[in-house]
């Protein structure tokens, strides 16, 4: 008696892969809404994404390796299509998050540069009034 549909391990792997990709997309969407100053929130998202990466890679290898041998039934094709769509969403969101983090790093670099300049001005001035003026100039730029 012939079994209909894909082998259970391929179908299960594909469902699990889609669930992990769903979680990846949700995490990245959440990351895009976080304040750049929310270090603990960003760290927890990065930690979870780091845990997901090897799992996603492993499941993707299983699914890809079995794809050629599995009979393409309609349900499996829908899951594969969903996997492709989720991968595209994840890539798009990841690039947006990377751009947001790059902007934040650039802003932090500029802040650090202004603070260093103000500190040097304060030391060069030597007096309290001049140091206070330097701090004021730093805050106003």
Per-residue pLDDT of 17-72, as tens digits, reads: 889 999 999 998 998 888 878 889 988 988 998 999 888 888 888 777 665 555 56
What SS3 class is residue 73?
coil
pTM for this entry = 0.62
Residue with tokens 């499941």: 59
Q: What is the largest CA-CA distance in the chain?
A: 93
**The token pair that represents 96 in the structure block:** 């947006």
Alpha-carbon distance 22 to 58, whole Å? 16
H helices present in 2-73, as ranges: 8-33, 39-67
């Amino acid at each position: 008696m012939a079994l209909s549909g894909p082998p259970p391990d391929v179908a299960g792997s594909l469902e699990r892969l889609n669930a992990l990709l769903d979680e990846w997309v949700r995490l990245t969407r959440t990351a895009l809404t976080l304040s750049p100053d929310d270090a603990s929130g960003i760290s927890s998202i990065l930690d979870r994404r780091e845990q997901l990466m090897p799992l996603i890679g492993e499941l993707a290898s299983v699914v890809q390796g079995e794809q050629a041998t599995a009979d393409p039934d309609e349900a499996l094709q829908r899951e594969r299509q969903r996997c492709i769509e989720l991968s595209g969403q994840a890539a798009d969101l990841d690039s947006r998050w990377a751009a947001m983090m790059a902007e934040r790093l650039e802003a932090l670099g500029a802040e650090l540069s202004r603070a260093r300049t103000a500190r040097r001005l304060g030391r060069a001035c030597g007096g309290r009034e001049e140091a206070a003026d330097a701090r004021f100039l730093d805050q106003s730029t």
